[in-house]
Amino acid sequence: MRSRPGRRRAYAAGLSKLDAVRGEPFPTITAALAMADDAPTLSGVDAGATETLTRAAPIYRKAWWPAHRAANRAWQSSIEALVNRHGTAVRDVLVKWYGLPWPADGYAVHLSGYSVAVGAYSSARGVLVVSSLDSSYRDLKGLEMIFHEAMHQWDGPVFNALNAQAKALNVGVPIDLPHAMIFFTTGEAVRRVEPAHVPYAESLGIWSLRLSGAQQPAERLKGPLEDTWRPYLNGRGTRDEALAALLGRVGIAAAAK
């Protein structure tokens, strides 16, 4: 077979440089793969990506798929047991705290041997993808993180709620605040059902990282979240009062820079 180096480099030079969450055609491709199941061909997506995936599929099926399928099944069995035990309680408290609706059928979680660099993501097309090989997504941390990714489907309404309070205070919303709130809130939700749980952000050192394109580590948000958001989670005041108090701390600090 004649070598076609241009096509071999198609993924490296193109799709691999895009944002898997919002960088079209990636969300469309992810949604199509999620629906394809074990179909021998893929349709309805970028032609170049389809050709590249079709050519790579036989090699993947032979070399990696048996091990990845086994990992997927093991992860699913473990996390499903936790969802059956705690899922309703975690979902209900998140809905209560955020005051936003959850789909009646929930969110499907799609497994892959490998996902993005951080191990999981929630696509702009509503597809949740988790790496079954990433050890940081196992047991209670895995339970926490599937709810974390599902909460990203609330990003639009949450930005709107934060922006409404920020406008009243004449401050800006730090770009990483909604993501930091998700880490803080999902960790607390799982700890409410399993008190021994160490939240993902604590156990993996997330607060020392820069989230969502921020220029500074998220550590600067942790104290204000403890002081203003946690009291709300414990039953004090309303959501919007808590958001206003939180922005009164981090919004003013961000605007002063």
Per-residue pLDDT tens over the stretch 129-138: 999 999 999 9
Average pLDDT over residues 68-89: 98
Long-range contacts of 233-240 (CB under 8 A, 24+ apart): 233/97, 233/185, 233/188, 239/97, 239/98, 239/99, 239/161, 240/161, 240/164, 240/165
pLDDT of 10 reads: 67
Distances (CA, A) of 124 to 26, 127, 156: 9, 7, 11
Q: Taking the model in full, what pTM does it have?
A: 0.91
pLDDT of 255 reads: 42
Q: State the burial class of residue 221 (Cβ atoms within 10 Å of its Cβ: 0-12, 13-18, 19+).
A: buried
Per-residue pLDDT tens over the stretch 144-189: 999 999 999 999 999 999 999 999 999 999 999 999 999 999 999 9
Is residue 226 pLDDT above 80, yes or no?
Answer: yes
Per-residue pLDDT tens over the stretch 3-29: 455 555 767 777 778 888 888 888 888
